[in-house]
Amino acid sequence: MLGSRLMGFTSKEEPHISYDESVKENWMKEVLKYRKIDAHAHVDESNYKVEVNLDYADRLGIEKLMISDFLRPHTEGPPDDFRTRNNFVIKCMKEHPGRFIGTVALNPKYQKESLEEIDRCRDAGMIGLGELYNQVKINDPLYYPIIEKCIDINWNIMMHSPIGHSRVALNPGEPKNISLPEDFADIAKRYPEAMFQFAHIAGGIDWEYACKVLKDYPNVFVGTAGSNNEANMIDFAMKYIGEDRLVFGCDYGFYQGVGHVFSAKLTDAQRKKIFFENISKRLKKGGLDVN
Amino acid sequence: MLIDSNAYIGHWPFRKFEYNTLEALSGRMKEFGTDVSVVSSLNGVFYKNTQNANEELISAIQSKRAYRDRFIPFAVINPIYGGWKDDFKVCSSTMGMKGIRLYPKYHDYDISNPACIELVKMSRDKGLPVVFDLRMVDRRTSSWMDIDKEWSLKDVAPIVRAVPDAKYLIVNVANSTALSAEDTALFKKTALLMDSSGRNMVDWTDLFKRFGTDHFCFGTQSPILDYFTGLLRIESLRENEADESTKELLRSGNIKRMLGM
């Protein structure tokens, strides 16, 4: 169908128009029936507690969470810092087998150490990079060897997205090396075989702007995580990004993460893709079969 | 029964909404099982003369017989704009509005402004709830032409202290709910509800402990926020956090009590 990718409707099934009465009497049955992987989760010992993650995951039927302990904004992010954070992620994975999928924090300013960290963390069972933060822009040449290594081992690369130019002037509170949607488009074009994930369109960015910029980059997944559950965000992303590139996530905003997917006009098959199948396919390419 | 305590129709100057008419809102209500919605006009946030928005809202509700049973209209009043006392009188009597919404941040007055206090007292005397939002939209992703200001719950405290015997509905509790011990005690004994639409309605055990289960209600902030998240916050409560009778209070019981339904 002409324009079908832009419309995002590659499934033949009609979107949900109305839930039957039995669903309205037991919403949680409907919520829990979909397998879910939270493709944007965090752990640490203060702000992103393991037990809180698991409580909401159990409550909302999230089988697995892709966790990271990201390098904080406005920090230098030296090797000792990212190694310590990755060690905490590895510890969480060991303590809760089957629930957490560890993703790797690193800083390409320390290129040798970052490349070594990928090997070390891969040996420990981690898969993929994320959430990469603002120490270096995603399209900075410092990232090239890191990205090339991820291409070799089929790893997903998830990078933070900014508030950016939502209010025209670049948000003054953000680090100068924040990666803008245009930076993702640039690197996706340079490395069409790499698998990028643009983090949390509900994280404060102008999501219409971001989806429009990323429309024509099939190797960029777009994460639905974040606290800003504005209406129609998912429906809009379906039009521009499509059902095969959207991935469910929460970024610790669990109610919004699940809620706005259920609020969108999606078919059953589209929900399955967004909640589980899209990211699980990428994980499988990297060697992790979650099925 | 399910009552949405926080819905709107009308336009937002900076973003297109899909469900911003009574017809579209009715569709969402049907889809998610909402029986009744408290509704006001978004246009009243931006019209200098908010009474035009109130007239539009009433006209829309009167356009179909079915709407009269499904929508409870709340007026937008600006207490620093000429003729506001007449507006209040018309809205609360002739138009049959069941509550009022105030927008100090958008209409540019302090919540302790004497006119605001007077309006809240007038509402109290008529038994009408007064609604304040902590934010209308997320300031991070808002337009450069929109206000860049959000409230925490403590920012509402001055008016509750000034008129403690009024009825309050605080919506889109997106930011901190931290209050002093005195204000927590005051909020707890006040006829005050917080709706479930805001992003900071997370730790229900703590919220119930601090304010009581009779201080919360279902709300969507539709069409600004997605329709389901506010409901999910209630429906996903475990039995040991909220039993079925408590959930019924949240779905409709508490707001019915406030509205005298």
- Segment A13-27 shows an average pLDDT of 72
- Most confident of the following: A1-5, A22-26, B256-260: B256-260
- Taking CB atoms and an 8 Å cutoff, what residues of chain A touch B32? 19, 24
The distance of A59 to chain B (nearest Cα, Å) reads 7
What is the reported pLDDT for B35? 97
User: Which residues have a Cβ under 8 Å from the Cβ of B203 and sit 6 or more positions away?
Assistant: none
- Taking CB atoms and an 8 Å cutoff, what residues of chain A touch B206? none
The distance of B78 to chain A (nearest Cα, Å) reads 26
Closest CA to B100 of B38, B154, B52: B38
- Taking CB atoms and an 8 Å cutoff, what residues of chain B touch A17? 31
From B31, B223, B238, residue closest to A19, measured CB to CB: B31
The distance of A149 to chain B (nearest Cα, Å) reads 34
What is the reported pLDDT for A6? 38
What is the reported pLDDT for A176? 87
What is the reported pLDDT for A10? 45
Closest CA to A235 of A204, A266, A199: A266
With an 8 Å Cβ cutoff, are B226 and A18 in contact?
no
With an 8 Å Cβ cutoff, are A167 and B144 in contact?
yes
With an 8 Å Cβ cutoff, are B32 and A260 in contact?
no
Closest CA to A43 of A111, A97, A93, A78: A93
Find the chain B residues whose C-beta atoms sit closer than 8 A to any C-beta of A.
Answer: 15, 17-19, 30-33, 137-138, 140-144, 148, 199, 201-202, 222-233, 235-236, 238
From A18, A227, A262, residue closest to B199, measured CB to CB: A227
What is the reported pLDDT for A17? 53
Token pair 């001055």: residue: B158
Closest CA to B1 of B222, B224, B259: B259
- The matching CATH number, chosen from 3.40.190.80, 3.30.479.30, 3.40.50.300, 3.20.20.140, for A27-285 is 3.20.20.140
Percent of chain A beyond pLDDT 90? 86
List per-residue pLDDT tens for chain B, 261 residues long: 999 999 999 999 999 999 999 999 999 999 999 999 999 999 999 999 999 999 999 999 999 999 999 999 999 999 999 999 999 999 999 999 999 999 999 999 999 999 999 999 999 999 999 999 999 999 999 999 999 999 999 999 999 999 999 999 999 999 999 999 999 999 999 999 999 999 999 999 999 999 999 999 999 999 999 999 999 999 999 999 999 999 999 999 999 999 999
- Tally of CA atoms within 13 A in the half-sphere of A103 that contains its CB: 28
Percent of chain B beyond pLDDT 90? 100
Tell me what the pLDDT averaged over chain A comes to: 93
Instruction: Taking the CA atoms of A48, A54, A55 and A57 in sequence, report the sign of the dihedral they define.
Output: positive
Contact between B9 and B41 (Cβ < 8 Å) = yes
Instruction: Kindly indicate the confidence band of residue A13, based on its pLDDT and cuts at 50, 70 and 90.
Output: low
For strands B75-76 and B71-73, give the pairing. Answer: unpaired
Kindly report, residue by residue over B122-133, the tens digit of the pLDDT. Answer: 999 999 999 999
Supply angle C-alpha A279, A282, A285, rounded to 5: 155
From A168, A208, A259, residue closest to B229, measured CB to CB: A259
- Segment A25-39 shows an average pLDDT of 95
Pairwise pLDDT comparison (A86 vs A13), residue with the higher score: A86
The residue of chain B nearest to residue A173, with distances taken between CA atoms, is B140
What is the reported pLDDT for A7? 38
- Taking CB atoms and an 8 Å cutoff, what residues of chain B touch A207? 141
Kindly report, residue by residue over A135-164, the tens digit of the pLDDT. Answer: 999 999 999 999 999 999 999 999 999 998
Torsion angle, CA of A83/A84/A86/A87, rounded to 10 degrees?
110
Report the C-alpha gap between A233 and A202 in whole angstroms.
8
The distance of B244 to chain A (nearest Cα, Å) reads 12
ipTM over 0.90: yes
Backbone phi, psi, residue A249, to 5°: -160, 170
Kindly report, residue by residue over A235-256, the tens digit of the pLDDT. Answer: 999 999 999 999 999 999 999 9
Which of A16, A19, A23, A27 to substitute to test the interface with B, most B CBs within 10 Å?
Answer: A27
Whole-model pTM above 0.90? Answer: yes
SS3 of residue A195 by DSSP: strand
The distance of A78 to chain B (nearest Cα, Å) reads 29
With an 8 Å Cβ cutoff, are A259 and B140 in contact?
no
How many residue pairs bridge chain A and chain B with CB atoms within 8 Å of each other?
Answer: 104
With an 8 Å Cβ cutoff, are B238 and A235 in contact?
no
What is the reported pLDDT for A47? 93
Find the chain A residues whose C-beta atoms sit closer than 8 A to any C-beta of B.
Answer: 16-19, 21, 24, 27-28, 31, 59-60, 163, 166-169, 171, 204-208, 227-235, 253, 255-256, 258-260, 262-264
Determine the angle formed by the axes of helices A79-95 and A111-123, rounding to 10 degrees.
Answer: 10
What is the reported pLDDT for A3? 36
With an 8 Å Cβ cutoff, are B236 and A204 in contact?
no
With an 8 Å Cβ cutoff, are A163 and B141 in contact?
yes
What is the reported pLDDT for A5? 37
Domain ranges across chain A: 27-285
Instruction: Kindly indicate the confidence band of residue A291, based on its pLDDT and cuts at 50, 70 and 90.
Output: confident
The distance of B211 to chain A (nearest Cα, Å) reads 21
